[in-house]
Chains A and B, each alone.
Chain A
Amino acid sequence: QQPVQSPQAVILREGEDAVINCSSSKALYSVHWYRQKHGEAPVFLMILLKGGEQKGHEKISASFNEKKQQSSLYLTASQLSYSGTYFCGSVTNNLFFGTGTRLTVIP
């Protein structure tokens, strides 16, 4: 029931955009997104509920397609502070985190 994330890793230059995808084999009630920097606790980014809504957090936004059981995280005009591992969490009867996408932003 663990969602699958892609890509596993991505390297960006400052100012570039990226998309991280999260796909589940089960019907989803909601999707969570968290970012974890090395040696630190995961930090909440956003939750998306059913209804195909899109949310934004500064220059980070996400969409949730419940029919396709997929969510995507969009990072625009990336900054060095965006570096870290991004986890999606799929909510079915429980909260299952994906294996993560390691994002590195270089100057």
Chain B
Amino acid sequence: DAGVTQSPTHLIKTRGQQVTLRCSPKSGHDTVSWYQQALGQGPQFIFQYYEEEERQRGNFPDRFSGHQFPNYSSELNVNALLLGDSALYLCASSLGGAPIFLDEKLFFGSGTQLSVL
């Protein structure tokens, strides 16, 4: 049973560029959440996708956008990259339900390490 897979594992970009990160959820999961984890910090919630729609969003600017496909895989797009966007980006999958997060066990991927120069 494949777990959560993310690609690429590492990425180097320059300021102002755009980046797309990809995530395939664990088999049977229909919900994908994205997190940004700066070095030495806890994961910060970016947004969650359920039924191909953004269900909840954290305190991130509109430069961060996403998409969920009919097969439940997801993409995270970041435009106009800033140096401060350098971080580990984690994708987590779960079985969607309400209320959000209350009793949702999250399965994390190993992440994409983004470096912005």
Contacts and interface: CB of A to CB of B under 8 A. Distances in A.
A94 B44 contact: no
Interface string B87-112: 00010000000011111011111110
| Main DSSP-derived SS at the A contact region | strand
B42 A41 contact: no
Contacts of B102: 29-30, 49, 91
B13 to A, nearest CB: 21
Interface residues of B, number: 24
Interface string B4-32: 10000000000000000000000000000
A99 B41 CA distance: 5
B106 A32 contact: yes
Contacts of B105: 44, 47
Interface of A: 2, 29-30, 32, 34, 40-44, 47, 49, 87, 91, 94-100
Given A34-B106, A99-B41, A100-B40, 17 more contacts: A2-B42, A30-B101, A32-B106, A41-B90, A41-B110, A42-B106, A43-B108, A44-B106, A49-B102, A49-B103, A87-B42, A94-B100, A95-B33, A96-B45, A97-B42, A98-B42, A99-B40
